[in-house]
Amino acid sequence: MFFKHRVLQAEYFDLPDRPVAELAEGYRMLNHMNRLFLLAGPFKRCLPTWFGQERCRSLSILDLGAGDGSLGDDLSVWAARRGWHWQVTNLDLNMQAMRLNPPARFVAGSVLALPFRDNSFDVVIGSQMAHHLMADEEVCQHFKEAWRVTKNVLYMNDLHRNVVLYAVLWMLLCLHRYPDHFRSDGLLSVRRGWRVREWRSLVARAGIPNARVSLYAGARVMLEAHKRS
């Protein structure tokens, strides 16, 4: 079977000492690809459905592994157009990435030990974060911490490890003539991605009750869990 096991090779994008100009260009290319793949789509569709129009008027959201905060910016602007106030806190370890987007609200920290009290946010989200972690134990801890600090909803996703997504991404990366290291990282991210059964096992080990793990559009593994109000 193709891509039966995760690849754990480190990505160039994760190097901590990249030049700022190169980092900024990397995020520009990454954000372009994320727009093509409608990264924010599931959040825009599901959060209003779960919370309802009235509660959506004001939400506190924590984005884990937020990078330069582009996803949070997209969600905040989209909500504002509907007369809603979504305050997004972006958490990441990379201080240089945070400096690329000064207006956004950032907190430096690890997804393995979140610097927040229990039930601090209405929603905790994470997009394509977990595949940057190596060991299963780290992923379980990541899930536990995310569950601990959400008050209502945990909604996270990552890449689905499959040959079709790999082939589609390869064609898009070649079409846009991205640098070799960016193309390599993009394809490596798929091979570091997940299968649904793998996330179900890790979520169970993390002790998150009544969680739903599913495949989204053949390209992402989704984790959805709700705390009782």
Q: Where are the domains of the chain?
A: 12-226
Cα–Cα dist 63/208, whole Å? 19
Per-residue tokens: 103 = 């207006």
Nearest in space to 155 (alpha carbons), one of 53, 52, 40, 27: 40
Q: What is the pLDDT of residues 35-82, one digit of tens each?
A: 999 999 999 999 999 999 999 999 999 999 999 999 999 999 999 999
Is the domain spanning 12-226 CATH 3.40.50.150? The answer is yes
The answer, yes or no, to whether residue 1 has pLDDT greater than 70, is no
pLDDT per residue as tens digits for the range 176-227: 889 999 999 999 999 999 999 999 999 999 999 999 999 999 999 999 999 9
Examine the pLDDT at 168 and tell me if it is beyond 80: yes
The alpha carbon dihedral of 29, 88, 202, 222 has a sign of negative
Confidence of residue 109 (pLDDT cuts 50, 70, 90): very high
Measured at the alpha carbon of residue 184, what is the angle toward residues 62 and 166, in degrees to the nearest 5?
A: 80
